[in-house]
Amino acid sequence: MKPTFVLLLTLTALGLATLGCGGSGAADAEKPAPGAPAATKAEAPPLPADVRDVASVAKPAGQTPEGAAAPAPVSGLGGLVVANGELVSPVRSELAVKNPGRVASVSVDAGDRVHRGQTLLTLESDYLALDLKRAEAEVARAQAAAGEAERDFKRKAELLAKESVSQAAYDRSRSAHEAALAAVLSAEAARDLTRQKLADVVLVSPITGVVAERRTDVGERLGDNSVAFVVAQTSPIKVRFRLPERYLATLREGQAVRATVDPYPGEVFTGKVTQIGGVVDPATRTVLVETTLPNTGGRLSPGLFARVEIDLK
């Protein structure tokens, strides 16, 4: 037999033997060698961010996506509540002069702090001073006439007792006396009115606060409805903020409130709840809450942004 033919038969036999043992060989190839460490399972790559939320929804209830923390429980009532608010003035007065006149002097400017009864401006009063002198003279004349009428009435009364004067003359004297007394009252009222007008040329602040606006200057003529100043009360001062409607059950007047503002970092201003709104805003589902702060030093100004903390335990 030729050597080439023998070689082909040998190779064919070896191939058949390999096919017969192929299944167990593949399985043995996957098993680790004795004494070798077990192979770790390959981890799948993380899901993209835009797909991760969808995958979490598809999971059974009570499970969260791998690597994501479970959401913290929301406390509906009680505990410390933080809100944003605004400082507002309890009283904002638009001040106008009582009688028309021309401004003679202005004593304050916008931003100045004023106290109750402080002069803000003064109107020209030359003509009113002359009117007062005339009114006082009218009072003096009316009083003199009343004195003369009183003496005449007393004489007529004495003569009537002696039947030396008629009843008609007595009645005329009595009427003249009463008219003279009425004239005195009228003159005194005119004098007092002129005095009041003269006093009203000085516009004073009715409250303690700060001048929010100045709308006049020297030489300007002010009418009955001309607003010269706007004064805002600053002590005490209010903080207004809103809380979700779920806190209505635990909100009470008198609860302690702590507020901080940016101009005074680290400083806490304390006050108490003074008013709780009775209407819930249908758009935001919140209720308005007001707090009063003492502000004796006047450092807090209306319009400031405030961070408010209130304990609703």
pLDDT level of residue 75 (50, 70, 90 thresholds): very low
Q: What is the pLDDT of residue 11?
A: 44
65: preceding bond cis by omega (within 30 degrees): no
Give the closest residue to 202 by CA, choosing from 132, 99, 93, 92. Answer: 99
pLDDT digits (tens, 9 = 90+) for 205-245: 999 999 999 999 999 999 988 999 999 999 899 999 999 99
Provide the percentage of residues in the chain whose pLDDT is more than 90. 68
Tell me: pLDDT of 169 over 80.
yes
Q: What is the pLDDT of residue 143?
A: 97
In the numeric block, the tokens 């429980």 are attached to: 73
| Cα distances (angstroms) measured from residue 108 to each of 45, 103, 217, 304 | 73, 13, 11, 23
Q: What is the pLDDT of residue 40?
A: 43
Residue 307: strand pairing partners: 84, 260
Helix (H) or strand (E) segment spanning residue 204: strand 202-204
Tell me: pLDDT of 153 over 70.
yes
pLDDT level of residue 46 (50, 70, 90 thresholds): low
Tell which wins on pLDDT, 19 or 284.
Answer: 284
Contact criterion met (CB below 8 Å) for 89 and 232: yes
Q: What is the pLDDT of residue 126?
A: 96
Helices 167-199 and 126-161, interaxial angle, to 10°?
160
3-state secondary structure 227-265: EEEEEEECCCEEEEEEEEHHHCCCCCCCCEEEEEECCCC
Tell me: pLDDT of 1 over 80.
no
Tell which wins on pLDDT, 16 or 277.
Answer: 277
Q: β-pairing, 202-204 with 269-276?
A: unpaired
Tell me: pLDDT of 69 over 60.
no
Report the range of poorest mean pLDDT among 60-74, 78-92, 102-116: 60-74
Q: What is the pLDDT of residue 30?
A: 45
pLDDT digits (tens, 9 = 90+) for 259-270: 999 999 989 999
pLDDT digits (tens, 9 = 90+) for 186-197: 999 999 999 999
Tell me: pLDDT of 74 over 50.
no
pLDDT level of residue 83 (50, 70, 90 thresholds): very high
Helices 22-30 and 3-20, interaxial angle, to 10°?
60
Average pLDDT (115-125) is 96
Give the closest residue to 95 by CA, choosing from 232, 191, 296, 256. Answer: 232
| Distance separating alpha carbons of residues 13 and 17, to the nearest angstrom | 6
- In the chain, which residue ranges form alpha helices assigned H by DSSP? 3-20, 22-30, 49-58, 126-161, 167-199
